Amino acid sequence: MSDTVAGLLQVGALVVLLAVVYVPLGDYMARVFTSERHLRVERFFYRVVRVDAGTEQKWTTYAAGVIGFSFVSVVLLYLIQRLQPFLPFGFGRGVDGDTIPPAMAFNNAVSFVTNTNWQSYVPEQVAGHTVQSAGLAVQNFLSAAVGLAVAVALTRGFLRSATDRLGNFWVDLTRGTVRILLPFAFVAGILLVAMGAVMSLKSGTDVTNVDGAQYTIPLAPAGSQEAIKELGTNGGGIFNANSSHPFENPNALSNLFEIFLLLVIPVSLTRTFGTMVRNTRQGTVLVAVMGVIWAALTAIAWFSESAARTPAAIAAGAAMEGKEVRFGIPGSMLFAVSTTGTSTGAINAQHDSLSGGAGAVTILNMLLGEVAPGGVGTGLYGILVVAIIAVFLAGLMVGRTPEYLGKKLGRREVTAASISILAMPALVLIGVGLAIALPGTGDAMNNSGSHGFSEVLYAYSSASNNNGSAFAGITVTSDFFQTTLGICMLLGRFVPILATLALAGCLARQKKVEAGAGTLPTDGVLFSVLVGGTIILVAALTFFPALALGPIVEALS
Of 208 and 443, nearer to another protein (C-beta) is: 208
At closest approach, how far in Å is the CB of 316 from another protein?
Answer: 5
Of 404 and 471, nearer to another protein (C-beta) is: 471
Which one of the spans 45-53, 388-396, 409-417, 489-497 is the region binding another protein (CB under 8 A)?
45-53
* Rounded Cα distance, 485 and 473, in Å: 16
Among 255, 268, 344, 378, indicate the residue that binds another protein (CB under 8 A).
Answer: 255
267 sits near another protein (criterion: CB under 8 A):
no
At closest approach, how far in Å is the CB of 211 from another protein?
Answer: 4
Residue 490 CA, chain-centre distance (Å), reads: 14
Of 114 and 255, nearer to another protein (C-beta) is: 255
Residues 303 to 362 in contact with another protein, rule: CB under 8 A: 308, 310-313, 315-328, 331-332, 347-350, 352-356, 359
First to last CA, the chain: 33
**Residues 239 and 228 sit within 8 Å (Cβ to Cβ):** no
Of 81 and 224, nearer to another protein (C-beta) is: 224
Residues 423 to 482 in contact with another protein, rule: CB under 8 A: 446-447, 449, 451, 454, 471-473
**Residues 52 and 71 sit within 8 Å (Cβ to Cβ):** no
10 sits near another protein (criterion: CB under 8 A):
yes
Which one of the spans 100-108, 121-129, 288-296, 461-469 is the region binding another protein (CB under 8 A)?
121-129
* Rounded Cα distance, 345 and 116, in Å: 7
51 sits near another protein (criterion: CB under 8 A):
yes
Closest CA to 98 of 112, 81, 77: 81
Taking residues 365 to 394 in sequence order and writing x for each that binds another protein by CB under 8 A, - otherwise, the string is: ------------------------------
Angle at 117 between CA 33 and CA 80, to 5 degrees: 90
Which one of the spans 59-67, 269-277, 289-297, 383-391 is the region binding another protein (CB under 8 A)?
59-67
At closest approach, how far in Å is the CB of 151 from another protein?
Answer: 19
Q: Checking phi first, is residue 400 left (phi over 0); if not, alpha (psi -120 to 50) or beta?
A: beta
400 sits near another protein (criterion: CB under 8 A):
no
194 sits near another protein (criterion: CB under 8 A):
yes
Helix (H) or strand (E) holding 404: strand 403-404
Look at strands 403-404 and 214-218 and give their pairing.
unpaired
76 sits near another protein (criterion: CB under 8 A):
yes
Residues 98 to 117 in contact with another protein, rule: CB under 8 A: none
At closest approach, how far in Å is the CB of 194 from another protein?
Answer: 6
- 3-state class (DSSP) for residue 215: strand
- 3-state class (DSSP) for residue 309: coil
**Residues 430 and 546 sit within 8 Å (Cβ to Cβ):** no
Of 73 and 99, nearer to another protein (C-beta) is: 73
Residues 141 to 160 in contact with another protein, rule: CB under 8 A: 141-142
Taking residues 200 to 239 in sequence order and writing x for each that binds another protein by CB under 8 A, - otherwise, the string is: xxx--xxxxxxx-x-xxxxx-x-xxx--x----------x
Of 198 and 367, nearer to another protein (C-beta) is: 198
Of 103 and 199, nearer to another protein (C-beta) is: 199
- 3-state class (DSSP) for residue 36: coil
Cβ-proximal residues to 52 (8 Å cutoff; 6+ apart), any chain: 46
Of 10 and 522, nearer to another protein (C-beta) is: 10
Of 218 and 382, nearer to another protein (C-beta) is: 218
16 sits near another protein (criterion: CB under 8 A):
no
At closest approach, how far in Å is the CB of 319 from another protein?
Answer: 7
At closest approach, how far in Å is the CB of 188 from another protein?
Answer: 10
* Rounded Cα distance, 325 and 141, in Å: 31
Angle at 107 between CA 349 and CA 497, to 5 degrees: 90
* Rounded Cα distance, 470 and 479, in Å: 18
State the amino acid at position 280 in one-letter form.
T
At closest approach, how far in Å is the CB of 178 from another protein?
Answer: 8
Of 239 and 392, nearer to another protein (C-beta) is: 239
497 sits near another protein (criterion: CB under 8 A):
no
At closest approach, how far in Å is the CB of 60 from another protein?
Answer: 7
The 8 Å CB, 24+ separation contacts for 403-406 are 403/513, 403/515, 403/519, 403/520, 404/158, 404/522, 405/158, 405/277, 405/279, 405/282, 405/522, 406/158, 406/512, 406/513, 406/514, 406/515
